[in-house]
Chain A
Amino acid sequence: MSPSELHAIQQFLFLEARLLDERRLEEWAQLFTDDGIYWAPTDPQAASPDTAVSLFFDDRRSMDARIKRLRHPEAHVAIPHSSTAHMLGNIEAETAEGQVRARAVFHVAEYRHTAPRWYGGRVEYHLVPHGISFRIALKKVMLVNSTASLTSMAFYL
Chain B
Amino acid sequence: MLARPDTRPDYSNDALRALVQPDRVHRSLYTDPAIFDLEMDRVFTRAWVYVGHDSQVANAGDFITTRIGREPVIMTRDGDGLVHVISNRCAHRGVAVCAASSGNSRYFKCPYHGWTYRSDGSLAALPQRRSYPKDLEPPPGTYAMTPIASVETYRGFVFARLSADGPDLDIYLNGIKRSIDDLVDRAPDGEIALVGGCSRYTIRANWKLQIDNGVDLHHSSFTHVSTLDENGRQFSRHGGGPRILIDKKSIDWEPFGVVGFPYGHGYQGRPPVETLPSGPVYDEYVARLVAKHGADRTAQILVYDRFNSVIYPSMTFQAFGQHLRIVRPVSVDRTEIEVYPVTLKGAPEAYNVNAIRSIAATHSAASMIQTDDMEMFERAQQGLASQQTDWVLFAGHPGSEEPWREGGWRGLGTSEFVSRIQYAQNWISYMTGGSGNEPV
Q: Could you count the A-B residue pairs with CB atoms below 8 Å apart for me: how many are there?
A: 107
Please give me the residue from chain B that is nearest to A76 by CB atom.
Answer: B375
Say whether B197 contacts A154, CB under 8 Å: no
Interface size class of B (residues with CB under 8 A): 35 or more
Say yes or no: A153-B235 contact (C-beta < 8 A), given A51-B196, A52-B197, A74-B226: no
Main secondary structure of the interface of A (DSSP, over half): loop
Q: Which A residue sits closest to B352, measured CB to CB?
A: A50
| B376 neighbours in A (Cβ, 8 Å) | 76
What residues of B have a CB within 8 angstroms of the CB of A55 in the complex?
199, 360, 364-366
Chain A residue, CB-CB nearest to B363: A53
A132 at the A/B interface (Cβ < 8 Å)? no
Q: Which of A49, A54, A76, A151 contacts B202 (CB under 8 A)?
A: A151
Complex contact B364–A54 (CB within 8 A): yes
CB of A149 within 8 A of CB of B202, answer yes
* Residue from the list A52, A149, A153 in contact with B200, Cβ < 8 A: A149
For residue A75, which residues in chain B have a CB less than 8 angstroms away from its CB?
Answer: 226, 372
Contact A42 B198 (CB under 8 A): yes
A52, A65, A77: the one within 8 Å of B356 (CB):
A52
**In the bound complex, what is the Cα–Cα distance between A72 and B371 (angstroms)?**
14
B171 at the binding interface (Cβ < 8 Å): no
B226 touches A52 (CB 8 A): no
Chain A 25-52 per-residue mask, 1 if CB under 8 angstroms from chain B, else 0: 0000000000000001011001001111
- A24 at the binding interface (Cβ < 8 Å): no
Q: Residues 192-227 of chain B: 1 if any A CB is under 8 Å from the residue's CB, otherwise 0?
A: 000011111111100000000000000000110111
Contact B371 A53, beta carbon cutoff 8 Å? no
Q: Is the CB of A69 within 8 A of B196?
A: no
Range of interface residues on A (Cβ < 8 Å): 20 to 34
Contact B365 A151 (CB under 8 A): yes
Question: Are B198 and A53 neighbours in the complex by a CB distance under 8 Å?
Answer: yes
When each residue 261-280 of chain B gets 1 if its CB lies under 8 Å from chain A and 0 otherwise, what string results?
Answer: 00000000000000000000
Say whether A95 faces chain B, with CB atoms less than 8 Å apart: no
**How long is the Cα–Cα vector from A148 to B339 in the complex, in angstroms?**
12
In the complex, the answer to whether B357 meets A151 with C-beta atoms within 8 Å is: no
A94 to B226, CA, bound (A): 41
Contact A40 B356 (CB under 8 A): no
Residues in B whose Cβ lies below 8 Å from that of A42: 197-200, 364
A57 to B222, CA, bound (A): 26
A17, B347: Cα distance in complex, Å: 41
Does A65 contact B197, Cβ atoms closer than 8 Å?
Answer: no
Asked if B290 is at the interface of the complex by the 8 Å CB criterion, the answer is no
Whether A152 and B365, one on each chain, are in contact in the complex, defined by CB atoms closer than 8 angstroms, is yes
Q: Which residue of B lies closest to A148 (CB)?
A: B200
> What are the residues of chain B within 8 A of A65 when measuring CB–CB?
235, 368
Chain A residues within an 8 Å CB radius of B301: none
* Cβ B365 vs Cβ A49 within 8 A: no
* Complexed CA–CA distance, A54 and B364 (Å): 7
B374 neighbours in A (Cβ, 8 Å): 77, 151-152
- Bound complex: CA of A91 vs CA of B284, how far in Å? 46
Task: Say whether B371 contacts A153, CB under 8 Å.
Answer: yes
Between-chain CB contacts (< 8 Å), 15 pairs: A42-B197, A42-B198, A53-B198, A53-B199, A54-B359, A55-B365, A58-B360, A65-B235, A72-B225, A74-B225, A149-B338, A150-B201, A151-B202, A151-B204, A153-B366
Known: A53-B356, A57-B360. 11 other contacts (CB 8 A): A43-B197, A49-B360, A53-B359, A55-B364, A57-B361, A149-B202, A149-B365, A151-B204, A151-B365, A152-B375, A153-B366
Task: List the 10 closest pairs (A to B, CB-CB), nearest first.
Answer: A52-B197, A72-B226, A150-B365, A149-B200, A75-B226, A153-B366, A57-B360, A77-B375, A152-B371, A77-B371
